[in-house]
Amino acid sequence: MSNYKILGKGIPRIDTPQKATGDALYTADIKLPNMLVGKVLHSPLAHAKILNIDVSKAKKVPGVKAVITRDDTFGEKWGVFKYTRDHQLIASDKVRFIGEEVAAVAAVDEETALEALDLIKVDYEPLPAVFDAEEAMKDGAPLIHEDHPNNINIHVKIDVGDVDKAFEKAYLVREDKFTSKDEGYGMLEPYAVIAYYHSDGSIEIWMPNASPHTKAKALSNLLHIPLNKVIVRRPTIGGAFGGRSDIFPLDFITSLLSIKARRPVKVVYTREESMICTRQVHSMVMYAKTGVTKDGKILAQDIKVIMDGGAYSSTGPIAASVPFLVWEETYKLENVRLNSYRVYTNKPIRGMYRCHGRAFLGGLGMQLDMIAEELGIDPVEIRLRNALNPGDMQATKSKIYSCGLKEAIKKAAEKIEWDKKRGKLPFGRGVGIGANGMMCGFPMGIRGGSSCFVKFNEDGYPTIISGVIDNGQGNYHAMVQIASEVLGVPPEEIHIVAGDTEVTTLDVGAYSQAAVLVSGNAVKKACEDAKAQILKLASEMLNCSEDELDIENKIVFSKKDKSKQVPLHKVIRKGLIENRHVMGRGHYMPEVSNDREWVKNPVGQQATTFSFGANAVEVEVDTNTGEVKIINAVGFHDCGFPINIKGVQGQYEGSIASGGVGSTLKEEHIFKDGKVLNADFLEYKIPTSLDVPENVYADAVITNDPKGPFGAKEAGLFGSMNSFQAIANAIYDAVGVWIKDFPITPDKILKALEEKRLKDEG
């Protein structure tokens, strides 16, 4: 670790006391004077024309203050890009999934709102529906959006090198199919929105979200309200995992209700509504063809993936690209072809996810082990032979500036005792490994950057003002630690104002792994600017040069003669008296190819830098029940330099729970004719404390990235996406069967074991 005073240490987070004591306010906790209760009417049909909506009886119910339908909208549609704007946030011409929002009411209490909701009469004309992505692509399938032939929402095509020629040269070519089911986010906080329309034409909104400025811009467009009058506030957020990064109908609906009622309105979704009507996770089918040399180096890959996107685009182009980007960020792919299809179906809308791409990344990671076995190469060795190095160029032309991937793989293998255990444990026990890279931000135009202000109060206590948002991963604390290191002020004495669009400037948001890199760089630059102003003032007070001064524990002192010192607050007061207020300013824009586009031009520098990680696990498989238990989990992460090592370790522990136990072994939504049958925490199986492995170890690989603040990079996702492959490979090592369909549930293991027994018996 570098010799920093604050950075790299395991310092308790600044938001811990609030959350531990229950003082933290979530959206549903907030109460405003004269606030109404909102309720939403959802479609009972998967696909149908809306012939008529009659709200006359609902409006007459005493206590009802507003009723809205398609007639109250401006006809605007939402989509993350202009070419994906396909979603009118209250259904207009037809409904496209069970649960789609059709109407809403605001009333003095919940009972009145529900009574009114029951009196709204909607006449539907049912239409044929399709619930399987591959079926939806076939000629003659019902069209969900008439302007998208074969229901293809997005097609991302990447073709690098000469794939066909490379396959001809390959020593071994393997083809496999991998699948994964529909999945939920499992956020404990139900989705809730409060909207308060004021008499000056401004609207205040509270909701859990990953990017307040993105929400504000979208709502400005949808509501036809100037952007400076759309104020998105920052409540505490009870989980995100990618599921708070989009614009949801409830944001728009609650705003419309408040505008119409001229009173604040709160809508809190039930657990079922939260699971169905915000976002879900893409199911997918992935076909992978890989050709390698005799020593296991990847010569060619041809990958086709079909993703079930549900009824609307959401973050479609990004979602269709990210699994491949993670793969190309990990290994050298000189000849690679990708055809990624995001397909419309009559299911709820799918978005981004922390554990995105189970079939894709889990499948390719398994296939790498399969190839290694056929060639007689150790799975660790085949990864090392193909892993990227510093200075390498990825397939789509992103340069790698720092890379500790190989070191992470080696350390994970060593810590899990790979050489002693792989293929040598008793039947039912096994070890496996997975590895991946991760982008730190990606091209988002003007929304890709961040800026920060830092001000000092007369007592010397600073306040950071940043648009960064914290969904629970520790972003606020990271910003405070960065500021503390630069300013020489203890972390507990620094206040942060963040994520509030009325007082903060534009920020990228917390959904592209960019908080530490982008927002952190802006905070660092702002604090350096403020520090330079402080040292200038102090140099005049101490009669010495600015270069010889530093700040520690709120004291400005001479590094040559420590008897020369002055308290920080006196320096600040001097600035105030002399009209030289200390106000630091910093901004940072990622160094990316701005002409890179997800569909039209997926080539160029897609991120300023990349993080890397490896994950090794030891599992125990009960061959009588098919249950899998993770005995040990080990993760090493190249996060450049850890701002807070406890934060890195905590992220890995969360990853093993969500990406490991949850996504790999348990979680899936069950559908019947488009209806989710398990939209609750009773039947939708998320990990509990009893499921998480007792032995979890995580550490950082230090590469001191040249682009990151103090060398730091992303530190959140390395353990999630490589858990799929690590656990699946460990199961094979334990019992000798490959499960190519996620989640890997007990019934699938028992079936595979029985098929293996019958095959072995001849």
DSSP string covering 356-411, please? Answer: --IIIIIHHHHHHHHHHHHHT--HHHHHHHHB--TT-B-TTS-B-S---HHHHHHH
Give the per-residue SS3 of 130-199.
CCCHHHHCCCCCCCCCCCCHHHEEEEEEEEECCHHHHHHHCCEEEEEEEEECCECCCCCCCCEEEEEECC
138 within a domain of the structure (yes/no): no
The answer to whether the beta carbons of residues 409 and 704 sit under 8 Å apart is: no
Q: Where are the beta strands (DSSP E) in 26-136?
A: 36-42, 48-54, 64-68, 94-95, 101-107, 121-126
CATH code of the domain covering residue 122: 3.90.1170.50
The answer to whether the beta carbons of residues 589 and 704 sit under 8 Å apart is: no
Alpha helices in 245-358 (DSSP H): 249-261, 271-277, 316-328
Question: Among the three residues 554, 588, 622, which one is the final residue of a domain in this structure?
Answer: 588
Q: What is the DSSP letter of 498?
A: E
Q: What is the DSSP letter of 709?
A: G
Question: Among the three residues 571, 588, 605, which one is the final residue of a domain in this structure?
Answer: 588
Indicate if 109 and 257 belong to the same structural domain: yes
Indicate if 409 and 490 belong to the same structural domain: no
Mean pLDDT, consecutive 10-residue segments, the chain of 762 residues? 81 84 93 98 98 98 98 93 95 97 98 98 98 98 98 98 98 98 93 97 96 94 97 91 90 98 98 96 97 98 98 95 95 98 98 89 97 98 98 97 97 98 98 95 84 95 94 91 96 94 91 89 98 98 95 95 95 97 96 93 95 97 97 96 92 92 96 97 92 94 96 87 95 98 98 93 83
The single residue listed with the structure tokens 């490896």 is 614
Distance CA 179, CA 745 (A): 13
Determine how many CB atoms are found less than 10 A away from the CB of residue 704: 14
157 within a domain of the structure (yes/no): no
Q: What pLDDT score was predicted for residue 388?
A: 98
Indicate if 421 and 543 belong to the same structural domain: no
Q: And the tokens for 321?
A: 């690209």
| 520, 526, 531, 537: CA torsion to nearest 10 | -170
Task: Give the C-alpha distances (Å, rounded to integers) separating 214 from 74, 79, 354, 428, 646.
Answer: 19, 12, 19, 49, 30
Strand pairing partners for 233?
206
Distance CA 714, CA 244 (A): 19
148 within a domain of the structure (yes/no): no
Indicate if 615 and 734 belong to the same structural domain: yes
With residue 728 as reference, give the H or E element that holds it: helix 723-735
Indicate if 109 and 218 belong to the same structural domain: yes
Distance CA 225, CA 439 (A): 34
571 within a domain of the structure (yes/no): yes
Indicate if 670 and 741 belong to the same structural domain: yes
Distance CA 650, CA 12 (A): 11
Distance CA 104, CA 304 (A): 41
Closest alpha carbon to 514 in 323, 714, 720: 714
Distance CA 721, CA 387 (A): 16
Q: What pLDDT score was predicted for residue 280?
A: 95
Distance CA 160, CA 153 (A): 23
Indicate if 539 and 434 belong to the same structural domain: no
Rg (CA), the chain: 27
With residue 431 as reference, give the H or E element that holds it: strand 429-439
Q: Which residues in 19-55 are b (16+ Cβ under 10 Å) and which e?
A: eeeeebebbbeeeeeebbbbbbbbbebbbbebeebeb
Distance CA 251, CA 270 (A): 15
Tell me which residue range forms the domain holding 113: 34-126+205-223+244-262
Q: Who's near 470: CB < 8 A, 6+ residues apart?
A: 15, 237, 476, 477, 498, 499, 510
The answer to whether the beta carbons of residues 260 and 160 sit under 8 Å apart is: no
235 within a domain of the structure (yes/no): no
CATH code of the domain covering residue 698: 3.30.365.10
Indicate if 652 and 521 belong to the same structural domain: no
Indicate if 733 and 630 belong to the same structural domain: yes
Upstream peptide bond of 743 is cis (omega within 30 degrees of 0): yes
Q: Who's near 292: CB < 8 A, 6+ residues apart?
A: 170, 171, 172, 173, 298, 299, 371, 375
Concatenated DSSP letters of 463-479:
EEEE----SSSSHHHHH
Indicate if 679 and 569 belong to the same structural domain: no
Distance CA 27, CA 239 (A): 12
The answer to whether the beta carbons of residues 144 and 313 sit under 8 Å apart is: no
Helix axes 379-386, 363-375, angle to 10 degrees: 110
Question: How many independent structural domains does the chain possess?
Answer: 3
